[in-house]
A and B are shown apart, each in its own frame.
Chain A
Amino acid sequence: MAEVELRNVSKSFDKEIGIADVSLTINDGDFVVLLGPTGAGKTTTLRCIAGLEKPEVGEILIDGLNVVDESPAQRDVAMVFQQYSLYPHLTVRENLEFPLKSPILKTPPDVMKKKVGEVAEVLRISHKLDNKATALSGGEMQRVSMGRALVRNPRIFLMDEPLSSLDAKLRGELRTELKRIQAELGATILYVTHDQIEAMTLATQIGVLHKGRLEQFGTPREIYETPASQYVATRLGSPRINTLPVELFGDAPTGATTIGLRPEHISLGDGQECKVTRVEHLGDQTRLHLRLIDHNIITLTEPHTKIQVGDVVAIRPKNPLFFDANGSLIV
C-alpha cells in the first residue's frame, strides 16, 4: 500500500470545471471518502488518480513520485465501480483469478490459488467459488467484484459508489464488512459517494467537494462538529441542519448572519414559542416539525412523546453554529 498526494490538481471539460485546485493527502492505510452531490467532482478526482483523466494543472504523487505521465497500468491502482462487471461465463474463482493472469503480473498457479483462497475467505464467499458468476445475488456479485480488486494487492483502491446499486439492508451489511476488510488488510482506499451515512461510517478522513472545490478535509467528527462552511454543515446530518436568520434567537457573535441548529441542538422547554406542524414517530426517536414565525424547523424528541400537532412548544438553541454572510463558520 502507498501514500497518495494531490497537489493543486485541476481538470475541466469544455470550459466546465471538473475539479479546481484540489490538494489532499491520503496516508498509507487511510480510508478517505469524497462526499458530494452529482457533478461535485468526486469521480473526476478518482479518475485523475487512476490515470483515466489527465489533469491540466497539478501533480499526483504516489509514494512521493509524480505519476501524471504514467499509464493506468503503470500506476498499479485498482478500481471498483458501481456496476459490477463480472464475466458471466466464468465461475467466481475464474473471475477472481483473472486479474492475476494478466501478462504484467504472470502469477504462478500456486500463488494464485492461495491468494484467491485468502480473499474469498475475507469476503466470505469461499463456499461459492465454483458457482457461475450469474448464479450469485447482487450482494455476492458486488463482493466478487471487490475481490477482483483485492487479489491484486495494488498501491491504492479507488472505489466509485460501489454500494449504491444495492438495497438499503445489504448496503448496511456490506458497509460494515468493507470496514472490517480494510482494517484486516490495512488497505489504502479512496472511496467516492453521495451518501452521507457511508461517508460518516466508513471514513477515517472525509473530503467534502462542492462545485469542483474541496470545501473541507477532516475526520467525520471534525466535519460534523466544526463544519468549515454552511454548505458543509448541510451535507452531513439527517434530518438536515436548520439554518435560520441569526436575529430569531438574539445573542450572536459579531458578523454572524445565520445560525445553524442541528435537530439535536435544540432544547425544548423554554425560549421561542413554535407551533408543532407535524409529528413523525420513527421508532427510536420522534421528529417534530415546527413553525417559528415563517420558518420551518425540525427537531428530535423521545419516541413516546405526548406532543401533538397543533401544540405550542418553546425552543432554545443548544451548542449552535454561526455562519457569516459568506457562509463561513465563525469560530
Chain B
Amino acid sequence: MAQIRIENVRKEFGDFTAVQSSSFTVEDGEFFMLLGPSGCGKTTTLRMMAGLELPTSGKIYIDGEEVGMKPASQRDIAFVFQMFALYPHMNVGKNMAYPLLSQGMSKPNAKKRVAEVAKILGIEGMLNKSVNGLSGGDRQRVALGRAIVREPKAFLMDEPLGALDAEFREHMSEELRALHDRIGATTVYVTHDQLEAMQMGDKIVVMNHGVVEQFGTPQDIYDKPATLFVADFIGSPSMNFLSFDGGVQEHTSSIELSGHTMAIPQQRESSEGKLVFGVRPEHVKLSEKSSYKGEILTTEYLGTSQIVTIKTLNGELKARISSAQLVNVGESVGLTFDEKTITLFNEASGNAIRSDLNIGSV
C-alpha cells in the first residue's frame, strides 16, 4: 500500500491550464476524495497520478519514489472508471483472473486469488456466470474485483458510481467504503457530489478552476471553509452569505450588519472593503428577541427539519429549523446567529478572514 504525494503539479493543454499548481498528500490507507464541479481539474489530477497524463511541471511521488514521468504500467496502481469495461465473451471468474494471467501468474494461483476476492465482494456464487446477464451493481462489483485481484499499491476511481441511479448509488457507496475498511488500500476517488465526498472520504481536496481551494477532513472543511467557493460548494443548502461594508479590524469580536451588532469569533487579521458574513443554515435561529428582522419568503418541509427562506436587509438567507416550529410565509421574524460558527470573507479575494474559529485551517 502507498502514500501518494503531489508537489506543485501543473498541467496545460495548449493554452488551457487544467491544473494550476497542486500540492497535497494522500496518506497510506486513506480514502481520499477529489471534489469539484466539472472542469475543475480533478480528473486531470487523477489521471496524472495514474500516469495517463504527464504533468507539464511538478512532481508526483508514490511511496517516496518520483513517478511523474513513468508510464501507467510501471506505477502499480489500479484505475476504476465510471463505465466499467468487462470482456463480454468471458465469464465473471475469467474476467477477474485475466489481469493475473497476463502478468504470468499460474492458473491455480490465479484461481485461488480470484476466489478470495470474490468472497470479499460477495460474488463467489456468480464466478461461472456470463457477465452479459449481470445487473449494473454486479458488473461494478466484477470490475472492482478485477482491480483488487492485482493487489495494487493504490486504487484510483473516476466517478465510479456516476452511472448508477440515486438509490443504488447510496447503497454502492456504503459497500465501497466498507470494502475499503476491510482491505485498507489507499484510494483516491473523484466526484462532483459533495454529499458523496463528505460521506465516504477521510480527507477531501476541493478544486475549482484548476486550483486546490482547500484540503482537510470533511468536518473541518464544513466548519472552517477557506474560501467563498468552498463554503458555497459544501453543504446543502449551502452557507448563507450576507454582504456588508466597512471592513474588520484584528482582535474585534463583533461587526455591524445594517446597524445591528453581531458577535463573531475574535478576528486574527484585519480586512478592508466589502466583506461577507457567512453562516450555515442550521446556525440561524428565529427569535422574537432579536431586533435583526427578516421576512419569510418560502418554507420547505423536509421531515424533521424544514428550510425557511428569509429576506433580510443584507440579502436572502436560508435557515434549517425544526419542522415542529410553526412559521408562516409573509411573516416578519427576528434572527439570531450562532456566533461561534461565523466565518467572514473578503468579497474581492474570496478568501476567509483568519479568526479564532478557523486558525490553522485556512
Chain A residues within 8 Å of B, Cβ to Cβ? 37-38, 167-169, 172, 175-176, 179-180, 183, 194-195, 197, 200-201, 220-221, 224, 236-237, 262, 264, 278, 280-284, 287, 289, 303-304
Contact present for A179 and B298 (CB under 8 Å)? yes
- A224 to B304 Cα, complex, angstroms: 9
Residue on B with the closest CB to A265? B304
- A200 to B218 Cα, complex, angstroms: 27
For chain B, which range describes its interface: under 10, 10 to 19, 20 to 34, or 35 or more residues? 35 or more
Q: Please name 12 further chain A to chain B contacts, defined as beta carbons within 8 Å, in addition to the given A167-B192, A179-B300, sorted by A numbering.
A: A168-B193, A168-B194, A172-B237, A194-B166, A197-B302, A280-B199, A282-B198, A283-B219, A283-B223, A283-B280, A284-B320, A304-B219
Q: Given B166, B222, B301, B323, which contacts A283 in the complex, CB threshold below 8 Å?
A: B222
Residue on B with the closest CB to A164? B166
CB-CB under 8 A from B234, the residues of chain A are: 283
- A281 to B194 Cα, complex, angstroms: 12
Task: Determine whether B303 belongs to the interface, using a CB cutoff of 8 Å to chain A.
Answer: yes
Task: Determine whether B240 belongs to the interface, using a CB cutoff of 8 Å to chain A.
Answer: no
- A172 to B236 Cα, complex, angstroms: 9
- A183 to B303 Cα, complex, angstroms: 22
Contact present for B199 and A200 (CB under 8 Å)? no
On whether A221 and B309 interact (CB within 8 A), knowing A200-B301, A303-B219, A304-B219, the answer reads no
Contact present for B280 and A237 (CB under 8 Å)? no
- A262 to B223 Cα, complex, angstroms: 26
Contact present for A281 and B217 (CB under 8 Å)? yes
Contact present for A284 and B300 (CB under 8 Å)? no
CB-CB under 8 A from A236, the residues of chain B are: 303
Query: Scoring B residues 209 to 220 as 1 if CB is less than 8 Å from chain A, else 0, what string do you get?
Result: 000000001110
Contact present for A283 and B298 (CB under 8 Å)? no
- A171 to B280 Cα, complex, angstroms: 20
Task: Determine whether B15 belongs to the interface, using a CB cutoff of 8 Å to chain A.
Answer: no
Contact present for B280 and A284 (CB under 8 Å)? yes
- A201 to B301 Cα, complex, angstroms: 5
Tell me whether chain B's interface is mostly helix, strand or loop, or mixed.
Answer: mixed
Task: Determine whether B195 belongs to the interface, using a CB cutoff of 8 Å to chain A.
Answer: yes
Contact present for A281 and B198 (CB under 8 Å)? yes
CB-CB under 8 A from A284, the residues of chain B are: 222, 235, 280-282, 320
- A220 to B301 Cα, complex, angstroms: 7
Contact present for A224 and B303 (CB under 8 Å)? yes
Contact present for A168 and B302 (CB under 8 Å)? no
Task: Determine whether B307 belongs to the interface, using a CB cutoff of 8 Å to chain A.
Answer: yes
Which residues B7-50 have CB closer than 8 A to chain A? 37
- A195 to B167 Cα, complex, angstroms: 10
Contact present for A201 and B300 (CB under 8 Å)? yes
Query: Scoring B residues 132 to 171 as 1 if CB is less than 8 Å from chain A, else 0, what string do you get?
Result: 0000000000000000000000000000000001110000
23 contacts between A and B (CB under 8 A): A37-B167, A38-B165, A168-B194, A172-B236, A197-B302, A200-B300, A201-B300, A201-B301, A221-B301, A221-B323, A236-B303, A264-B304, A280-B199, A282-B199, A282-B222, A283-B234, A283-B280, A284-B222, A284-B281, A284-B282, A284-B320, A303-B222, A304-B219
Among B218, B235, B282, B300, residue most surrounded by chain A Cβ atoms (within 10 Å):
B300
Task: Determine whether B5 belongs to the interface, using a CB cutoff of 8 Å to chain A.
Answer: no
How far does the Cβ of A223 sit from chain B's closest Cβ, in whole Å? 10
CB-CB under 8 A from B285, the residues of chain A are: none
Query: Scoring B residues 172 to 201 as 1 if CB is less than 8 Å from chain A, else 0, what string do you get?
Result: 001001100100000000001111001100
- A30 to B323 Cα, complex, angstroms: 21
- A280 to B195 Cα, complex, angstroms: 10
Contact present for A168 and B298 (CB under 8 Å)? no
- A289 to B200 Cα, complex, angstroms: 13
Query: Scoring B residues 269 to 292 as 1 if CB is less than 8 Å from chain A, else 0, what string do you get?
Result: 000000000001110000000000
On whether A283 and B235 interact (CB within 8 A), knowing A176-B298, A180-B298, the answer reads yes
Contact present for A200 and B303 (CB under 8 Å)? yes
CB-CB under 8 A from A201, the residues of chain B are: 300-302, 307
- A167 to B233 Cα, complex, angstroms: 12
CB-CB under 8 A from A281, the residues of chain B are: 198, 217-219, 222
Which residues B295-317 have CB closer than 8 A to chain A? 297-298, 300-304, 307, 309
Residue on A with the closest CB to B318? A176
Residue on B with the closest CB to A202? B300
CB-CB under 8 A from A167, the residues of chain B are: 37, 192
- A281 to B298 Cα, complex, angstroms: 28
Contact present for B218 and A282 (CB under 8 Å)? yes
On whether A195 and B199 interact (CB within 8 A), knowing A262-B303, A284-B282, the answer reads no
How far does the Cβ of A295 sit from chain B's closest Cβ, in whole Å? 15
Residue on B with the closest CB to A197? B302
How far does the Cβ of B54 sit from chain A's closest Cβ, in whole Å? 31
Contact present for A200 and B223 (CB under 8 Å)? no
CB-CB under 8 A from B177, the residues of chain A are: 278
